[in-house]
Amino acid sequence: MKEKSFEPGCDNVVLIGMPGAGKSTLGIVLAKILCRDFVDADLLIQQSCDKSLQRLIDTLGPDAFIEIENQVLSEMSFEHSVIATGGSAVYSDAAMEHLGKIGRVVYLKISFDELKARLADFSDRGVVMKGGIGMSLRDLYDERLPLYEKYADITVDVNDLSITAAARKVAAALK
Ligand SMILES: Nc1ncnc2c1ncn2[C@@H]1O[C@H](COP(=O)(O)OP(=O)(O)O)[C@@H](O)[C@H]1O
Ligand SMILES: O=C(O)C1=C[C@@H](OP(=O)(O)O)[C@@H](O)[C@H](O)C1
Ligand SMILES: [Mg+2]
């Protein structure tokens, strides 16, 4: 685990990982265990643009969506919160640098097979495919894995765990 010092305002827990890893669902359970607030970045992006994520990605395209996501994440100034990011957050260097400063970044790791099972309906889920329509789920997994590893302070393998068991495992890893 990378060592980090915590100053006031920098005690958030930032969840990163593949779409379907459980950042949003596990995040709420984790916030209850840790007695913190919960923030879902995806909802803030939707609010700021007044459009669903899927619609934003479809109308703006991947690059403009990532730019908006970068801006929303870079402006976050929460304290004592669990922050669920969207899976594409790691495409934004500035955002990840900011999030790394305001909290511990936890990578919820799932295998490719688990990603496939959870994202059976990924065409409707609002996933940023930077490589365009020819990009497969395997390409997406291979492209992103090194990015999640790069920005993680802590990696927690959540394969084959229920949401509650996975949240407890993350809480234990944060001690
Ligand atoms: N540990 C888990 N076990 C089984 N299903 C899960 C688990 N975590 C999440 N899911 C399911 O996967 C889907 C995506 O979860 P979600 O929390 O939205 O992921 P993310 O925010 O990382 O994209 C949901 O249907 C959720 O119920
Ligand atoms: O992985 C992605 O490309 C995305 C995942 C979504 O969030 P979840 O990771 O919460 O599903 C959302 O941010 C956005 O639609 C892009
Ligand atoms: Mg989510």
Any ligand 2 atom below 6 A from CB of 17 = no
Is 21 flagged in the annotation as binding? yes
From 128, 130, 135, 163, the mutation candidate for ligand 2 (largest count of ligand atoms within 8 A of CB) is 128
Asked if residue 36 belongs to a domain, the reply is: yes
In a domain, 155, yes or no: yes
Is 28 near ligand 1, meaning CB less than 6 Å away? no
Q: What is the pLDDT of residues 70-125, one digit of tens each?
A: 999 999 999 999 999 999 999 999 999 999 999 999 999 999 999 999 887 666 77
Is the model's pLDDT at 58 over the cut of 80?
yes
| CATH code of 159's domain | 3.40.50.300
7 in any annotated domain: no
pLDDT at 57 > cutoff 70: yes
Q: Is 4 inside any structural domain? A: no
Over the chain, what is the mean pLDDT? 93
Separation of CA 29 and ligand 3 centre (Å)? 13
CA 170 – ligand 2 centroid, Å: 20
Q: For residue 87, is it within any domain?
A: yes
Asked if the model's pLDDT at residue 29 lies above 80, the reply is yes
Q: Please, what is the angle between helix 93-102 and helix 137-151, to 10°?
A: 40
Q: Confirm whether the ipTM is greater than 0.90.
A: yes
For 63-72, write each residue's pLDDT tens digit.
999 999 999 9
Handedness of CA 12, 153, 100, 84 (dihedral sign): negative
CA distances from residue 167 to 108, 139, 163 in whole angstroms, order as listed: 10, 28, 6
Q: Is residue 138 part of an annotated ligand binding site?
A: no
- On whether 23 is known to bind a ligand per the annotation, the reply is yes
Number of domains within the chain = 1
Secondary structure (3-state) at 103: strand
Atom of ligand 2 nearest to the CA of 42: 13
Residue 124 belongs to domain spanning: 12-166
Residue 96 located in a structural domain:
yes
In a domain, 172, yes or no: no
Q: What are phi and psi of 119, to 5 degrees?
A: -110, 35
| Chain centre to alpha carbon of residue 97 | 14
Q: Is 25 in the pocket of ligand 1 (CB under 6 A)?
A: yes
What are the tens digits of pLDDT across the range 116-163?
998 876 667 788 988 887 888 999 999 999 999 999 999 999 999 999
Confidence of residue 4 (pLDDT cuts 50, 70, 90): low
In eight-state DSSP terms, residue 76 is -
- Kindly state the average pLDDT of the residues 40-56: 93
In a domain? residue 6: no
Asked if residue 156 lies in contact with residue 170, where contact means CB atoms within 8 angstroms, the answer is yes
